[in-house]
Chains A and B, each alone.
Chain A
């Protein structure tokens, strides 16, 4: 069940982000009001994009691509903090989901030990990031005003701009990280019986999925912003 939902969630996230790129790179598609036509255009675009991506000179071009990251130009502490966060999260996600989806027994052995170590590193880095970076992602809404009449209620919109999506997913990632840390610590304490352990185990897995989806979307929105086609 978890494996199926994970695969579907990741596929949906990927398709959603691809569609977003399609819409950004083809603003003309905005005018299309037929869903069938949009899907057709998107499929056609996806069909062209996939061979393009696959034909890129990877992995020969990767070093240059990685070297181009802004991360390397950050101050020393911040750089290593982010390396710790990204590295540990990548390992946590890779090991956790690989074993959850493909290995019947689940995570075990040295990958599990490393998972625990990486979990601690992730939790520490996330905490430090919280103090250093969250200010940047704080929402800044104006005060809500009560709608005066029925028509105003109909016209009411949550104050949510395009830049708020990245912030939203940042906070979702942060919340999921908190949840992951809590669901990792609590089973180790002599408080929860067998049923509680089952719930905590499920909680940890679903938090991980939320965290992964949030991280992917946030990275796409914030770190790898698509550029409109010339």
Chain B
């Protein structure tokens, strides 16, 4: 009897558990659309990451959590599987897209990364980048989720990860769906950089003001510890102050939701703009100009598998709807196989007639070749993209960068053998090679091993900053060398400008380095020319020398004691006051400010530093060959992962730039080779901006592309990179396309005689047609008896 009761109890428990599981599963099922086309008013109670209701007037409220605030109606796990969030886990790679580019100008690193297996990009795991590192690097342009919301198993993978302090950046629904103008992408980026991951959505969505920086808190801090009572200035814990006016009496927040998302939210991370254009002249995509929103073609359901709109997507994703949203699907009603299986004319897409365009074009070219990106010009169009060049983040500091140098449109064959326009970037990175394996080094590893080699600008900038105090009103301390003037910029770096009357850029002068002051474009020596022994010398001069020496005394890591040499007189600060003594004989040749080290006079900036900054002045490059050689040697001795520096050991280290891999040979000289696949450019297809039809290739006829000197076929892509070198790779566009360059030139030439050819063909058709007509008339005439039969 007892056992029967036990069994009955167990069955009952199982039934109850089963019902609960079923009920939960039912709850989590996406609710089907009821058919109403409006977006419901979103008065939603905010919930925090522990699913607790947020009362905005509480003294220290938590930030809202999309998982628990939006999740009850929009299954969060389903959303997490979307294209924007599943790169780390999804096996679906899709057509190559723009990689994340790790840019570090100091070490000359331009490293394309992606969790997706796209050609030429590096898996962050290969570089030992954990989700924390990745989020810190690129979270500025991520919509939360993915690496920014790692699973519990990934929370403590590295010493640097501070998820327990920062929280996770959940999928930020508002990043795309916030309709209000409050959605602030800059705020998102700042919060991520401050490691305020769990607060970022609240701050950027304009729901509340977030103060404090998790990055300054100790790793032992927990969100439930609350504010730091001991520090109200530096290590201030993040906190939220909700905008209570947006809450109703039931503590429900009014979300103004954009469905589908507004373009401005897409463009925060997906803008691409030509470098040469201004905002006023930059053309818009023709679809946008017609009022079509990004998300009206790039659709998705709750699974957020955004349609990317390329041919072949439906086969890869299994989503047959994708065929309707390719160029060909919308405009021609054809699937990639050319079958009329999809509905044409969505959103009023016009049917293209393509009059007079031979069929081979449709077989070998994607639509975007003629219709997307800039028209092929003499030079490549350099563009900046939101994610690569950090666009769209505004504040006191300048966030956007000129590097990496991305060019378009480079025409290449896709996986189906069709030519398509692409964006291209040349990778640049330091790496360790072992056989065929190449493992890029993190910039931090390189910088640590390089020591002072990569700090030429920094050292000069430090001196210029130190000299600023000695300059008069409206004066700036400058270094002149090699025909260039270097002065400090607001970011603490160096700005170079050509000296008036100096050699033109590219023709570096040889004038020696000198320190001076600049006022209204007029340069004067830092230390005026005077005779220290003269009885009537100006006392202000020695005051200035004292200021110079005091300023130089603040330079961290100075190689020696600051001194100023003027005509065999040595000025230095002794016991807090200026002393002038006769210089020792060995210093007699010295002049101006410098460092006294071991009784030897050293210039304020070492020859290596001056040589390096002069070489790079006026260029985009951040490394010289000399620096690369020195860093390779330093890495060979200091990088712990590199074999012992026995003979040939340095050849295990390479630096990739401009399409070539640089390494040291057995004699310690820098050599380069173009054969390394890792040095090849990384490309990804472009689809926007789509140009108006009158700006399409071919609108003006065949000679838009088919001439002997066609800009479509005959340009050269030259390797670019942070290294200042003449050793770069050049590649013809025809080799990118996989078509014969010689053939295309000959074929292009034939178009010069094409009109004549057409006339000849037309005349022959007329003549043979006339003969045929006569023949039929004669035969008919004979049959009818109108013409007499020949005897």
Indicate if B783 sits at the interface (CB-CB under 8 A): yes
Would B356 and A191 count as touching, CB distance under 8 A?
A: yes
Would A139 and B782 count as touching, CB distance under 8 A?
A: yes
Closest CB of chain A to B420's CB: distance in Å? 17
Q: Please, what's the 1-or-0 string for A150-162, where 1 marks a CB less than 8 Å from any CB in chain B?
A: 0000000000000
Instruction: Tell me the complex Cα distance, A185–B762, Å.
Output: 7
- A120-B761, A181-B765, A194-B354 in contact; A134/B771 too (CB < 8 A)? yes
Instruction: Tell me the complex Cα distance, A108–B359, Å.
Output: 12
Would B764 and A193 count as touching, CB distance under 8 A?
A: no
- A138-B778, A185-B758 in contact; A178/B769 too (CB < 8 A)? yes
Question: What total of chain B residues lie within 8 Å of the partner, measured CB to CB?
Answer: 40
Indicate if A126 sits at the interface (CB-CB under 8 A): yes
Indicate if B2 sits at the interface (CB-CB under 8 A): no
- B760 interface neighbour in A123, A140, A193, Cβ under 8 Å: A123
Closest CB of chain A to B611's CB: distance in Å? 52
Report the nearest B residue to A190, measured CB to CB. B356
B202-210, B307-315, B596-604, B743-751 - interface stretch: B743-751
Which chain A residues in 124-145 approach chain B with CB under 8 Å? 124, 126-127, 130-131, 134, 138-144
Indicate if B772 sits at the interface (CB-CB under 8 A): yes
- A143 interface neighbour in B354, B359, B783, Cβ under 8 Å: B783
Instruction: Tell me the complex Cα distance, A201–B362, Å.
Output: 13
Would B353 and A138 count as touching, CB distance under 8 A?
A: no
Instruction: Tell me the complex Cα distance, A201–B772, Å.
Output: 23
- A198 interface neighbour in B353, B359, B779, B790, Cβ under 8 Å: B359
Residues of B within 8 A of A140 (CB): 782, 789-790
Report the nearest A residue to B750, measured CB to CB. A113
Which chain B residues in 727-769 approach chain A with CB under 8 Å? 740, 743, 746-747, 750, 754, 757-758, 760-765, 767-769
Closest CB of chain B to A46's CB: distance in Å? 37
Q: Please, what's the 1-or-0 string for B326-338, where 1 marks a CB less than 8 Å from any CB in chain A?
A: 0000001000000
Indicate if A177 sits at the interface (CB-CB under 8 A): yes
Indicate if A11 sits at the interface (CB-CB under 8 A): no
- A123-B761, A141-B789 in contact; A181/B355 too (CB < 8 A)? no
Indicate if A71 sits at the interface (CB-CB under 8 A): no
Would B775 and A138 count as touching, CB distance under 8 A?
A: yes
Residues of A within 8 A of B360 (CB): 106, 108
Would A175 and B772 count as touching, CB distance under 8 A?
A: yes
- B355 interface neighbour in A131, A182, A193, Cβ under 8 Å: A193
Which chain A residues in 149-199 approach chain B with CB under 8 Å? 171, 174-175, 177-178, 181-182, 184-185, 187-194, 196-198
Indicate if B5 sits at the interface (CB-CB under 8 A): no
Would B356 and A185 count as touching, CB distance under 8 A?
A: no
Interface centre among B362, B750, B762, B771 (most CB of A within 10 A): B771
Indicate if A77 sits at the interface (CB-CB under 8 A): no
- B779 interface neighbour in A138, A187, A194, Cβ under 8 Å: A138
Instruction: Tell me the complex Cα distance, A123–B769, Å.
Output: 12
Report the nearest A residue to B361, measured CB to CB. A197
- B768 interface neighbour in A127, A139, A141, A192, Cβ under 8 Å: A127
Would A113 and B747 count as touching, CB distance under 8 A?
A: yes
Would A178 and B355 count as touching, CB distance under 8 A?
A: no
Closest CB of chain B to A76's CB: distance in Å? 22
Indicate if B785 sits at the interface (CB-CB under 8 A): yes
Indicate if B349 sits at the interface (CB-CB under 8 A): no
Residues of B within 8 A of A171 (CB): 775
Would A143 and B784 count as touching, CB distance under 8 A?
A: yes
- A123-B760, A124-B760 in contact; A130/B767 too (CB < 8 A)? yes
- A181-B768, A182-B765 in contact; A197/B358 too (CB < 8 A)? yes
- A141-B789, A143-B785 in contact; A197/B743 too (CB < 8 A)? no
Which chain B residues in 674-723 approach chain A with CB under 8 Å? none
Q: Is the interface of A mostly helix, strand, loop or mixed?
A: helix
Would A110 and B743 count as touching, CB distance under 8 A?
A: yes
Closest CB of chain B to A177's CB: distance in Å? 7
Report the nearest B residue to A200, measured CB to CB. B359
Indicate if A8 sits at the interface (CB-CB under 8 A): no
Would A197 and B354 count as touching, CB distance under 8 A?
A: yes
Would B746 and A144 count as touching, CB distance under 8 A?
A: no
Report the nearest A residue to B787, measured CB to CB. A143
Q: Please, what's the 1-or-0 string for A72-102, where 1 marks a CB less than 8 Å from any CB in chain B?
A: 0000000000000000000000000000000
Instruction: Tell me the complex Cα distance, A164–B750, Å.
Output: 42
Would A130 and B768 count as touching, CB distance under 8 A?
A: yes
Residues of A within 8 A of B747 (CB): 113
Report the nearest B residue to A182, measured CB to CB. B765
Would A187 and B768 count as touching, CB distance under 8 A?
A: no
Residues of B within 8 A of A144 (CB): 783-785
Closest CB of chain B to A160's CB: distance in Å? 12
Residues of A within 8 A of B758 (CB): 185, 188-189
Would A192 and B789 count as touching, CB distance under 8 A?
A: no
Indicate if B395 sits at the interface (CB-CB under 8 A): no
Instruction: Tell me the complex Cα distance, A143–B758, Å.
Output: 41
Residues of A within 8 A of B790 (CB): 140
Residues of A within 8 A of B743 (CB): 109-110, 113
Indicate if B129 sits at the interface (CB-CB under 8 A): no
Residues of A within 8 A of B363 (CB): 105-106
Interface centre among A140, A174, A187 (most CB of B within 10 A): A140
Closest CB of chain A to B14's CB: distance in Å? 61
Indicate if A15 sits at the interface (CB-CB under 8 A): no
Instruction: Tell me the complex Cα distance, A144–B362, Å.
Output: 52
Instruction: Tell me the complex Cα distance, A188–B356, Å.
Output: 6
Indicate if B415 sits at the interface (CB-CB under 8 A): no
Residues of B within 8 A of A188 (CB): 356, 358, 754, 758
Indicate if A29 sits at the interface (CB-CB under 8 A): no
Would B362 and A177 count as touching, CB distance under 8 A?
A: no
Indicate if A37 sits at the interface (CB-CB under 8 A): no
Closest CB of chain A to B566's CB: distance in Å? 77
Which chain B residues in 347-394 approach chain A with CB under 8 Å? 352-360, 362-363
Given contacts A124-B764, A140-B782, 13 further A-B contacts (CB under 8 A): A110-B743, A113-B747, A123-B768, A127-B763, A127-B768, A138-B779, A142-B789, A143-B783, A174-B771, A188-B758, A191-B356, A192-B355, A194-B357
Interface CB pairs A-B, < 8 A, 29: A113-B747, A120-B760, A123-B765, A126-B764, A127-B768, A134-B771, A138-B778, A138-B779, A139-B779, A143-B782, A143-B784, A143-B789, A144-B783, A174-B771, A174-B772, A177-B768, A178-B765, A178-B768, A187-B359, A191-B355, A194-B332, A194-B352, A194-B353, A194-B362, A196-B355, A197-B357, A197-B358, A198-B359, A201-B359
Q: Which 5 A-B pairs have the closest CB atoms?
A: A143-B785, A190-B356, A193-B353, A123-B764, A130-B771
Residues in chain B within 8 A of chain A (CB atoms): 332, 352-360, 362-363, 740, 743, 746-747, 750, 754, 757-758, 760-765, 767-769, 771-772, 775, 778-779, 782-785, 789-790
